[in-house]
Amino acid sequence: MHDFVALEGLGIPTMFVVSSEFADAVDAQARALGYAAIPAVYVPHPIQDRTDDEMRALADQAWLTAPVSA
Amino acid sequence: MPERVALAPAPPAGAGLPADGLVAVVKRDCPTCRLIAPVLAQLGPGLVVYSQDDPAFPAGLADVRDDTGLDVSVALGIETVPTLLRFGGGTEVGRTEGWLREAWEELAGVAGLGTGLPEYRPGCGSLTHDLEVADELLVRARGGSLAARRLEIAALEDEAEALFERGFTDGLPVVAPTPARVLRMLQGTTREPGEVVAVVPPNLAGATVEKVAINAVLAGCRPEYLPVVLAAVEAASTDEFNAHGLLATTWGAAPAIIVNGPVARALGMNGGGNALGQGNRANATIGRALQLVIRNVGGGRPGEVDRATLGHPGKIGFCFAEDEAGSPWEPLAVARGIAPGTSAVTVFAAEGPRGVVDQISRTPDSLARSLAAGLRAVAHPKLALAFDATLVVCPEHGRVFAQAGWSRGRLAAELAELLLLEPAEIVRGAGGIAEGIPAGAARGPVPKFRPDGLMIAYAGGGAGMFSTVIGGWVGGPGGSRPVSREVGS
Amino acid sequence: MIVLDPTDERSPVRREPLRRRSVLDGVRVGLLDIAKPRGDVFLDRLESLFAGRGVTVRRYVKPTFTKPMPPDLRREIATECDVVIEALAD
């Protein structure tokens, strides 16, 4: 999140990919850093026990939902 | 230290103070209060004690009241603890601060107080004067008078960084405009916070006294500077001064301020050595406050409405005092129509200053020619009737004019005469320079400056034969004219 | 900390993220791996998706996900990228 603030501060639009479990944490920290909201793409929790194929599927899903694919 | 603030001096009716009897105000943190705790016990059950920091102190007394909110301390105007007060018939009839046996015995009407204690011990500062507490009390008492939007600097943000990121600064750090600081700033003026001072270009936003005070806090001003800042904002927001045009032009000039009158001395402003430079808080922050008002309230930001090709460092802030005490002439503001003895600002369009050396001339005629040569270069030596300028005459040059009896008006007239430019010298192409006036545009000599287009001020250190030229911008109705305004209270 | 707004109050109170880029042509994309396990697989896939769009990405890895990235990495990204995707926090 601090990386997001640092990079945006340098004029680089930054997209943050995070597991859905942390949506509340992202919101809270966004507010704590003075933002109304931070553009994040959420992927379904959990992450650590995923197979490589499942991870790739999550990436495909994120690709479709993120504004970056537009 | 924050300015002390008189807060609601009258004790609130029915606050529980005894109509008749003794009241003591103490805090545990104060060694004198701890020392005299046995004396309070001696004064008996009729004594009402207000404790500023710990309702359990002093222990074992009949009537110790919690004043950690400091409401009673504020209402009683407590400066020092311990303070012993006597009430009679519902009003205060006497008080003593600190511990002085004789005074306490007299006020209490009790002899033999604190035997074994020293005769005298000074008290400690009342908690109401603790910086943070004083701020909190100030905001509690007066915060309702503030109308500006409140912004929260979030827990994880660094305060200085947050103010940069929100675009409130000129590139240097600013002082965070907390409600308490703004309220203290507002005590520098008698004007109401909600009064609109000026409609500030370029966005033509109404700047209230409060908004100017907020920007004065950002700039680092002390409260007593505020009336000068307010006058400068008024002057810079006039149609005559045309701050919008000055900002929007690609030419790099910006508003600068000359301060005249008793306020310059009262604020410790610099009109002497390095007057145009760094190092004097009032000079630096008053000029900066004006620029921040234009930036934040007016919306005049570089790259947006401010289109300067290069600008200059004085756009951070450019303000100095005239050296009236040393000057052979009447104050600049007086020459511009302000009553003598009155404090005033003169706001004018200014480029960066540039020195003019003349260490040889002993006659006013020779020196005036040097200064005219320096002034001729303003904007371009071949351009005339275009840009205004200000000449700051230094003491060692001023002396030459003073000895010869030249008034400011005489110097201005002589300079105007010397700055009549021959068409042949300034026509396009003359001297191998394409820039210049169009051929045939002038049949006779052309004045370098429009009438009143050259302003003459007096400032600087006692040594150095270096006056300074401050180029301006296009003068007159289409451009910007200097504007003087009295400094109010 | 509360501060009073020094402006004419025409802008929003909260900070706004930068506007997203709608076109990727000629845009230098950085993929920042925060160094949590499994994130690399996710980012490898994103890299190939970008490649399918004809966009070559630059890859960066933070030394640790537990701290903000060090200043030298920030400088490197700032000079080499126009947009950044940071993944994968869980």
Domain ranges of chain C: 29-87
Return residue ranges of chain B for CATH 3.40.30.10: 21-139
DSSP B34-46: HHTHHHHHHT-TT
Q: Which residues pair with B30 in a beta bridge?
A: none
Cα–Cα distance measured from residue B361 to residue B35, given in angstroms and rounded to the nearest whole number: 74
**Among C24, C41, C90, whose Cβ lies nearest the Cβ of A18?**
C90
Q: Given an 8 Å threshold on Cβ–Cβ distance, is C14 in contact with A35?
A: yes
More confident residue, B488 or A28: B488
**pLDDT(C77) > 50:** yes
Q: Among all residues of chain C, which has the CA nearest to that of B296?
A: C7
Q: Given an 8 Å threshold on Cβ–Cβ distance, is B151 in contact with C7?
A: no
Q: What is the dihedral of CA C2, C8, C12, C14, to 10 degrees?
A: -20
Contact B416, B454 (CB under 8 A): yes
> What's the pLDDT score for residue B7?
44
Q: Cβ contacts (< 8 Å) between C88 and chain A: which residues?
A: 17-19, 43, 47
Angle (deg, nearest 10), helices B209-219 and B226-236: 110
Cα–Cα distance measured from residue B137 to residue B203, given in angstroms and rounded to the nearest whole number: 36
Q: Given an 8 Å threshold on Cβ–Cβ distance, is A33 in contact with B165?
A: no
Q: Taking the domain B21-139, which CATH number applies? A: 3.40.30.10
Cα–Cα distance measured from residue B485 to residue B336, given in angstroms and rounded to the nearest whole number: 10
A60 — contact with chain C (CB < 8 Å)? yes
> What's the pLDDT score for residue B141?
85
As a whole number, mean pLDDT of residues C55-59 equals: 92
More confident residue, B107 or A28: B107
What token pair was written down for C73?
A: 């990495």
Backbone angles phi and psi of B71, in degrees to 5 = -60, -45
End-to-end, the C-alpha distance of chain B in Å comes to 22
Task: Write the CA distances from A4 to A14, A17, A37, B410, integer angstroms.
Answer: 6, 11, 12, 64
Q: Measured between CA atoms, how close is B261 to chain C, in angstroms? A: 29
Contact B322, B258 (CB under 8 A): yes
Q: What is the pLDDT along chain B (489 residues), one digit of tens a residue?
A: 344 444 444 444 446 889 999 999 999 999 999 999 999 999 988 899 999 999 999 999 989 999 988 889 989 999 999 999 999 998 999 999 999 999 999 999 999 999 999 999 999 999 988 888 888 888 988 888 999 999 988 888 899 999 998 899 999 999 999 999 999 999 999 999 999 999 998 888 899 999 999 999 999 999 999 999 999 999 999 999 999 999 889 999 999 999 999 999 999 999 999 999 999 999 999 999 999 999 999 989 998 888 899 999 999 999 999 999 999 999 999 999 999 999 999 999 999 999 999 999 999 999 999 999 999 999 999 999 989 999 999 999 999 999 999 999 999 999 999 999 999 999 999 999 999 999 999 999 999 999 999 999 999 999 999 999 999 999 988 899 999 999 998
What radius of gyration do chain A's Cα atoms show?
A: 13
A4 — contact with chain C (CB < 8 Å)? yes
Task: Report residue B450 CA to chain centroid gap.
Answer: 33
Q: Given an 8 Å threshold on Cβ–Cβ distance, is A33 in contact with B157?
A: yes
Q: Give me the amino acid identity at B146.
A: L
> What's the pLDDT score for residue A67?
59
What radius of gyration do chain C's Cα atoms show?
A: 17
Cα–Cα distance measured from residue B459 to residue B467, given in angstroms and rounded to the nearest whole number: 9
Tally C-beta pairs within 8 A across A and B. Answer: 16
Q: Cβ contacts (< 8 Å) between A19 and chain C: which residues?
A: 88-90
Contact B199, B207 (CB under 8 A): yes
As a whole number, mean pLDDT of residues C41-53 equals: 92
Q: Given an 8 Å threshold on Cβ–Cβ distance, is C3 in contact with B151?
A: yes
H-helix or E-strand containing B105? helix B101-108
Q: Cβ contacts (< 8 Å) between A55 and chain C: which residues?
A: 38, 41-42, 45
> Taking the model in full, what pTM does it have?
0.76
Q: Measured between CA atoms, how close is A61 to chain C, in angstroms? A: 10
**Among B176, B210, B296, whose Cβ lies nearest the Cβ of C3?**
B176
What token pair was written down for A34?
A: 């003075």
> What's the pLDDT score for residue A30?
81
**Among B154, B162, B165, whose Cβ lies nearest the Cβ of A31?**
B154
Q: What is the dihedral of CA B21, B25, B28, B33, to 10 degrees?
A: -70
Q: Give chains near B: 3+ CB pairs under 8 A.
A: A, C
Q: Given an 8 Å threshold on Cβ–Cβ distance, is A33 in contact with B152?
A: no
Q: Among all residues of chain C, which has the CA nearest to that of B212?
A: C6
Q: Cβ contacts (< 8 Å) between B290 and chain C: which residues?
A: none
Tally C-beta pairs within 8 A across B and C. Answer: 64
Contact B418, B486 (CB under 8 A): no
Q: Given an 8 Å threshold on Cβ–Cβ distance, is A33 in contact with B154?
A: yes
Report the mean per-residue pLDDT for chain A: 83
As a whole number, mean pLDDT of residues A47-68 equals: 85
Give buried/exposed letters for B425-454 (b at 16+ CB in 10 A, else e).
ebbeebeeeeebbeeeebeeebebbbeebb
Q: Given an 8 Å threshold on Cβ–Cβ distance, is A34 in contact with B155?
A: no
**Among B152, B156, B165, whose Cβ lies nearest the Cβ of A9?**
B165
**Among C1, C6, C15, whose Cβ lies nearest the Cβ of B214?**
C6
Q: What is the dihedral of CA B134, B135, B141, B147, to 10 degrees?
A: 170
**pLDDT(A69) > 50:** no
What ipTM does this complex have?
0.87
Kindly tell me the burial class for residue C82, based on how many C-beta atoms sit within 10 Å of its own C-beta (0-12, 13-18, 19 or more).
middle
As a whole number, mean pLDDT of residues A25-53 equals: 84
